[in-house]
Amino acid sequence: MKRISILFVCMGNICRSPLAQGIFGHLVAEAGLTRDYAIDSAGTGGWHEGEPPDRRSIATATSHGIDISGQRARRIRSSDFRDFDLILAMDRDNLAALEESALPGANIRLFGDIALGTGEDIPDPYYGVPEGFELVYTRLLTGCCRLLETLGAERTSCSGNTSSVR
């Protein structure tokens, strides 16, 4: 199997995309497919470069057995458009920003289209209530499970449970 590289993208790379990276990475590891995937995340803006994910994203991931505390925010680079097979934007605003700066041939899609099949945006929980992070986690877990299934993996860790990955 050819190694598949996936980049999850949100605005600042501290809330949604680090969660998506952590969830998808966990699912890939649970399926024993770590060698088959390269997974990363980035932001369309560089305000938080070098910072860890938002403490609420870290806490939400930790409560589900996923450690994202070692991730560091970065801004999307032009080389990402060449280096990643699939770039998944968390919402339409980030999708538009990515398409505006993309190199020809980049495979940029909305997470809600390819992973959820609903076309929905994953809401930015940054300015909302703490429960918003749990809602985002649940949508990302559902989408990441479906994405892994779409890419052809047997998913033993996604057996209908959208509240945890343990």
Residues annotated catalytic, as ranges: 10, 16, 124
Tokens of 93: 């605003």
Sheet of 37-43: strand order equals: 37-43, 4-10, 86-89, 108-110
How many angstroms separate the Cα of 112 from the Cα of each of 73, 83, 89, 95, 133? 22, 22, 9, 11, 17
Of 158, 163, 164, 151, the residue nearest 38 (C-alpha): 151
> Which secondary structure element, helix H or strand E, spans residue 10, and what is its range?
strand 4-10
The Cα–Cα gap between 5 and 18 comes to: 15
